Amino acid sequence: MAKKSLMRRVGVLAATLTTSLLVSAQAAEPIKIGSFLSVTGPASFLGDPELKTLEMYVEKINEDGGVLGRQLELIHYDDVGNASSARNFAGRLIRSDQVDIIVGGSTTGATMAAVPLVEQAGMPFISLAGAVTIVDPVKKWVFKTPQSDRMAAERILWDMKRRGFDKIGLISGTGGFGASGRKQTLAVAEEYGIEVVADETYSPSDSDMTAQLTNIRNTDGVDAVLNFGFGQGPAIVTKNYAALDIQLPFYQSHGVASDSFLELAGGAAEGLRLPASPLLVPESLPEGDPQKPVVQAYKEAYEAHWDSSVSTFGGYAYDGLMLAVQAIEAAGSTDKEAVREELENIMGYVGVTGIYNMGPDDHNGLTPESFRILEVQGGDWVLVE
């Protein structure tokens, strides 16, 4: 009797030991997701919803049992919108924290500053920034979730062509986003048979663009006007545009696709069009649109968790995190080369921003059609198709 109980005790002890060893081995090795975002500073309207999204979904994934049976750990730094500190924090994530993958980089400058380090270290990196230079030419380790500014320009010009406009006036900010957007618009205009007859710029800190808009109005033959920029600039342009009572159709870029722009521009925004993520109009998406359930779920979850309205930029972070998770699951490990390969192999992932089909020469995976054309009607976004 005593012997049996001793045996049993040893057995139980051994079993507990093994399980506890197994559990601790698993618990000791979370999958480290590194991130550097512009949570404060001039680009905080990008970084803030991005961080909130990452925090919320990492928590959610962990509650549901993690990835590959391991928990996720988010290691995050705030680069304040400064490219040099973005580079330093990327170095810290790679070399000191030794993360498994990086999802971050709110602005193109911050992303590009980290690219040399990421490429040389061989670290899978999913950027959340806009410019086409991030993935063109293709960099082995660098992917990105937002559509590029080139696609935005293509989508706008496509809509203009559809409405029969041939000559346009362009006004753009001289900040990173506006300057790159201007370059891409000029580059793709010819393909669409559209002529840019007026080309004006403003500094991001300017408080009045009446002079530039007057120049455009006085140019002969302008059919429509396009403003490429983000921050407060486009809101001022919109107000000036209304004040000057210019009757030409007006387009904005995806840089202002948020509810806060509507608040800033007020009634002046009435009738303008822009390309945007379906996230702004989840209800108007047709039934059967594959993105509809994803977009609605994200919007509901975000708004319930943070009690603030959802923004397109948070959607980029959602897609970045989900792509990372999917690639790690497909790779079956956090081996960097395998994860990178699986990222490149992602086909038909339905995200908030669009449907991703990656490939060896396409590290973005989206098409211009993923942008929906929206029009402001009655102070709200309305889907135009």
Asked if 185 interacts with other proteins (CB under 8 A), we say: no
Residues 166 and 122: their CA atoms lie apart, in Å, by 46
Residue 126 DSSP SS3? strand
> Contact region for other proteins (CB under 8 A) — 177-185, 216-224, 231-239, 288-296?
177-185
State which amino acid sits at residue 362.
D
The only residue of 11, 65, 116, 379 in contact with other proteins, by rule CB under 8 A:
116
Q: How many residues interact with other proteins (rule CB under 8 A)?
A: 34
Q: Which is nearer to other proteins, 70 or 87 (CB)?
A: 87
Asked if 292 interacts with other proteins (CB under 8 A), we say: no
Q: Which residues contact 118 (CB under 8 A, 6 or more apart)?
A: 90, 94, 102, 125, 141, 142
- Show the tokens assigned to 336: 């960097």
- Show the tokens assigned to 367: 């098409």
Asked if 42 interacts with other proteins (CB under 8 A), we say: no
Residues 198 and 216: their CA atoms lie apart, in Å, by 6
* Exposure letters 73-112 (e unless 16+ CB within 10 A, then b): bbbbbbbbbbbebbbbbbeebbeeeebbbbbbbbbbbbbb
Smallest gap, in angstroms, from Cβ of residue 150 to other proteins?
14
Q: Which is nearer to other proteins, 48 or 344 (CB)?
A: 48
Site string for other proteins, 127-146 (x = CB under 8 A): ----x-x-------------
The only residue of 32, 92, 217, 336 in contact with other proteins, by rule CB under 8 A:
92
Residue 307: CB atoms within 10 Å? 7
Q: Which is nearer to other proteins, 177 or 241 (CB)?
A: 177
Asked if 179 interacts with other proteins (CB under 8 A), we say: yes
Closest CA to 45 of 136, 177, 242: 177
Asked if 205 interacts with other proteins (CB under 8 A), we say: no
Asked if 175 interacts with other proteins (CB under 8 A), we say: yes
The only residue of 16, 18, 40, 309 in contact with other proteins, by rule CB under 8 A:
40
Residues 239 and 122: their CA atoms lie apart, in Å, by 47
Binding site for other proteins (CB under 8 A): 39-40, 77-78, 82-85, 87-89, 91-92, 94-96, 108-109, 112-117, 120-121, 131, 133, 174-176, 179-180, 183
